[in-house]
Amino acid sequence: MEKLFEDFSLGLFVWQAVLFIALILLLRKFAWKPILDSVNDREEGIKNALDSAEKAKLEMENLQADNQKLIKEARAEREAMLKEAREIKNKMIEDAKDEAKETANKLIAQAQESIETEKKAAISELKSQVANLSIDIAEKVVREELSNKDKQVKLVESMLGEATLN
């Protein structure tokens, strides 16, 4: 211990103190601060880059998930549309059939009706012609009758024979 005190040199202590404190201050200004700042900046830059990469990755994943969802939705929609279309088609066919049937029925009914009307008209015309004919015949018969009794009879007979032929 005594030797320690004896070895102690005040001059060296003062020099060391002055030089060392000067060294700390100088290095702080010219070395440590710029070095640590640059390292910090670099580390922050790397961290930010990694963060944004991570974020981009997440976004990509989200996008992909979105895409998947969209595809799924589209598929579902297509299915739905196809189904609907099929239903519509069937319904249309069904409707068309119904309508066609109805129209056909109507047409048939109309046709029948018109046939009936035509028939009636034909019958009535026939009737009126028969009547006219009968009147003509009667007129001729009457005229014949008026001139020749035999001839009148003959005419009536031939007329009648004609009429039955008709």
Structure tokens at 102: 């109805």
Of 39 and 92, nearer to another protein (C-beta) is: 39
Structure tokens at 85: 């279309």
Each residue 14-53 as x (binds another protein by CB under 8 A) or -, in order, gives xxxx-xxxxxx-xxx-xxxxxxx-xx-xx--x--------
Contact call for residues 152 and 141 (beta carbons, < 8 A): yes
* Residue 9, SS3 per DSSP: coil
Of 40 and 110, nearer to another protein (C-beta) is: 40
The count of chain residues that interact with another protein, using the rule CB under 8 A, is 33
Of 47 and 119, nearer to another protein (C-beta) is: 47
Q: Provide, rounded to whole angstroms, the least separation between the CB of residue 40 and another protein.
A: 10
Task: With contacts defined by CB under 8 A, name the span among 10-18, 63-71, 125-133, 157-165 that binds another protein.
Answer: 10-18
Contact call for residues 144 and 151 (beta carbons, < 8 A): yes
Cα–Cα distance, 34 to 40 (Å, whole number): 10
Cα–Cα distance, 22 to 69 (Å, whole number): 67
Catalog residues that contact another protein under the rule CB under 8 A. 4, 7-17, 19-24, 26-28, 30-36, 38-39, 41-42, 45
